[in-house]
């Protein structure tokens, strides 16, 4: 999202279905009441008015979380270009527990990402898959290839941004965006070195097949094998 926000041809929207998800799921997330007060929590209205609505730029980039796409008619995805962003659960889960102390498979979104990917394949679409590690290893190469898939020209402006966040950040940013707010671009990839929490190992085992399935379809930079 931060990369696409730097493009002059692009309008970004940050997780417009978060309030809908909190309403229908009853999930307890940091800042739940604030999020629901800040957004239209009627998912079908959000799809019609924001995701498929008019925009003042040639490109509308809508950041979504897969687990937010619940209790909705998902046929709108046939009218959008879809990109699936994944991250190795061995690196993602230790971070997730900082906001959700006892996450389950739904909280990771991985199973839902696979369902969405296969659903779109069945409709004749081929959604792009981006892996966080591959992106950090070669931001320019991966983003150039992604833009090609989306029918866009790559812009070098996508590689950096100002520290401190974006005006378009959701009200949940203080709970979730600490690292991105300290960044000014894509940091070099550094694998986690802390021991993996044993209590999360069953969830890691449940996540692994979904992640590996999507990883085989991930965009790689020109120098990757």
Q: At what angle do helices 201-215 and 89-96 cross, to 10 degrees?
A: 130
Confidence (pLDDT) at 192:
87
pLDDT band of 81, cuts 50, 70, 90: very high
Confidence (pLDDT) at 99:
87
**Per-residue pLDDT at 26 exceeds 70:** yes
115 touches 148 (CB < 8 A): no
- Domains of the chain, earliest start first: 2-215 (3.40.50.300)
pTM equals: 0.92
Among candidate residues 112, 113, 117, 119, the one with its CA nearest the CA of residue 127: 117
The β-bridge partners of 10 are 59
192 touches 90 (CB < 8 A): yes
pLDDT band of 222, cuts 50, 70, 90: confident
**Per-residue pLDDT at 111 exceeds 70:** yes
């Amino acid at each position: 999202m931060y990369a696409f926000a730097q493009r002059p041809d692009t309008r970004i929207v940050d997780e417009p279905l978060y309030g809908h998800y909190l309403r229908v799921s009853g999930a307890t997330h940091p800042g739940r009441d604030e999020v629901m007060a800040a957004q239209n929590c009627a998912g079908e209205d959000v799809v019609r008015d924001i995701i498929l609505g008019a925009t003042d730029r040639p490109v509308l980039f809508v950041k979504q979380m897969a687990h937010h796409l619940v209790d909705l008619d998902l046929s709108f995805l046939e009218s959008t270009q879809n990109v699936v962003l994944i991250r190795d659960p061995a690196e993602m889960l230790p971070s997730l527990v900082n906001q959700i102390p006892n996450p389950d498979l739904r909280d990771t979104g991985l199973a839902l990402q696979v369902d969405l990917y296969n659903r779109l394949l069945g409709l004749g679409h081929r959604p792009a898959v981006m892996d966080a590690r591959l992106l950090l290893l070669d931001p320019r190469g991966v983003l150039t290839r992604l833009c090609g898939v989306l029918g866009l020209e790559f812009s070098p402006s996508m590689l950096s941004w100002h520290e401190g966040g974006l005006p378009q950040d959701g009200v949940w940013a203080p709970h979730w965006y600490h690292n991105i707010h300290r960044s000014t671009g894509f940091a070099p990839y550094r694998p986690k070195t802390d021991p993996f929490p044993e209590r999360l190992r069953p969830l890691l085992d449940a996540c692994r097949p979904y992640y590996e399935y999507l990883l085989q379809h991930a965009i790689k930079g020109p120098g990757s094998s």
